[in-house]
Amino acid sequence: MATPPRRPTNPFAAAEAAFKPVKKPAAPVREPSTAPNVRELVSIRIDRAVLDHFQEDGPGWQDRINDALRQWVAAKG
């Protein structure tokens, strides 16, 4: 008894097999920090004018950005 070929002989079936969507693995669940007010290292893109504004007063510009964002969040809530 002849065994069927391993690859599809039908061109349509071959194309379907070649371009079959690949299942993406599920994104890992990110657990929130256990301690409140813990800072996390992130990378964001900020306009140069905004960055210059916060950096013009010298060191601590990241804290000033964080404070401004915290005030904005508090005002929205």
Each domain of the chain, given as residue ranges in start order, spans 40-76
Q: Summarize the chain as % helix, strand, coil (round to 5).
A: 40, 0, 60
Question: What are the pLDDT digits (tens) for 30-71?
Answer: 777 677 778 888 899 999 999 999 999 999 999 999 999 999
State pTM to two decimals: 0.54
| Dihedral sign (CA 36, 73, 39, 65) | negative
Instruction: Kindly report, residue by residue over 5-35, the tens digit of the pLDDT.
Output: 676 578 888 788 778 777 788 888 877 767 7
CA 48 – CA 59 distance, rounded (Å): 17
